[in-house]
Structure 1
Amino acid sequence: MSAQTDRFFVLTGGPGSGKSTLIAALERAGHACMPEAGRAVIQDQMRIDGPALPWRDPAAFAELMLGLDMRSHAMAGAAPGPVFFDRGVPDVPGYLALTGLPVPGHMQRAAETVRYNRLVFIAPPWPAIFGQDAERRQDFDEAVRTHAAMAAIYGELGYELVELPLAPVEARLAFVRAHLPFACGT
């Protein structure tokens, strides 16, 4: 891991667990943040009635997510200080494993070589805040399975998972910020 990627922090977990809300709070607090690729792909594909939607072509959806996640990682280098990612490159092979599709070699290599800080924040399933919308069609059971798939892939890649508390966003923000000195070795 380089000093550069040591300041890159992933927030992962299942859908509807408060990741994007926490990312927004981190951004309001002055931290650089990178958006979730999956939601962006879904929005773009829905706008053009495209084929690369998770309910139409999960493999094509994964390819587009990988490209956006790799671009976000490359762009994050220009930002000062810690950078927070709403999901990371390893989420893509985690997603494919969840759907039962094989993980192509290039995606596995990307997950192994595009690195982040060793601490990965994972949002546990949280029924009290879970919700669906036009872009998030998964039910709560799939959210639980997604959480397990993300925990498995990040663990396999040598990351240390730090579970976020089931708490209001302000408490989650304080929790993440309290881990930064430890995570960055300061």
Structure 2
Amino acid sequence: MKRDDADRFFVVTGGPGSGKSTLLAALAAEGLVTMPEAGRAIIREQVAIGGAALPWADRALFAELMLAADMRTYREAQSLSGPVLFDRGVPDVVGYLQLSGLPVPPHVTVAAETFGYARQVFIAPPWPEIFTGDSERKQAPAEAEATYRAMVEVYTGLGYDLLTLPRSPVAERVRFVRAGIGASGVGP
């Protein structure tokens, strides 16, 4: 695993609908640097242009676009200082392909091993009480659970330590993440 900026790059991962994006928005509002999830942006762009790189159309192409976006976001983060929190990381693409029953191409494995993050990865467990679908999140709760399990397998397989986010109000999750990254004094 490449470690140049990894110690200050933190991933928040897990299944859809588990509060990751809400948590990251709250952390950003407190002054922490966050990087967005690639998947939702790709879905919006592909729908707008009538593209096929969608999880319900061409999953392999969707994965390739996510990989490209995640690598670009990683490189952008290298120009920033201090801790950076990512809404999913490059290894999530491996988990997505496995979950989709698709082969993981060698270049995706190399990317997951090369674009390293801090050893501690925050993982949001399934949380059926807050799960909602929308035009971009078409998964059912069972698929959210399977995604969570896939991310546990991928990240632990790559040597990361998982810190399970509590199923608690956003403010408590923010405190948990701040403590986990040692950034309790960061921000306003």
TM-score of the superposed pair, with normalisation by structure 2: 0.95
Cα pair 2:3 2:117 within 8 Å, conserved: no
Q: Does 2:131 correspond to 1:130?
A: yes
Aligned residue for 1:111?
112
CA shift for structure 1 position 179:
1.2
Aligned residue for 2:186?
none
Aligned residue for 2:7?
6
Equivalents in 2 of 1:4, 1:149: separation in Å? Answer: 25
Equivalents in 2 of 1:93, 1:108: separation in Å? Answer: 7
Aligned residue for 1:75?
76
CA shift for structure 1 position 3:
5.2
Aligned residue for 1:45?
46
Q: Deviations over 1:44-70 (max 9, x none)?
A: 001111000010000000000000000
Aligned residue pairs, count: 182
Equivalents in 1 of 2:181, 2:91: separation in Å? Answer: 21
Q: What code does the residue aligned with 1:92 have?
A: V
Aligned residue for 2:103?
102
Equivalents in 1 of 2:52, 2:180: separation in Å? Answer: 40
Q: Secondary structure at the match of 2:182?
A: helix
Q: Deviations over 1:6-65 (max 9, x none)?
A: 000000000000000011011101011100001111010011110000100000000000
CA shift for structure 1 position 180:
1.5
Q: Deviations over 1:83-124 (max 9, x none)?
A: 000000000010000010000000000001100000000000
Q: What code does the residue aligned with 1:13 have?
A: G
Q: What code does the residue aligned with 2:141 have?
A: F
Aligned residue for 1:174?
175
Equivalents in 1 of 2:94, 2:101: separation in Å? Answer: 10
Identical columns (%)? 59
Q: Does 2:49 correspond to 1:19?
A: no
RMSD: 1.0
Equivalents in 1 of 2:66, 2:116: separation in Å? Answer: 16
Q: Secondary structure at the match of 2:153?
A: helix
Q: Deviations over 1:62-83 (max 9, x none)?
A: 0000000000100001112100
TM-score of the superposed pair, with normalisation by structure 1: 0.96
Q: What code does the residue aligned with 2:122 have?
A: F
Q: What code does the residue aligned with 1:57 have?
A: D
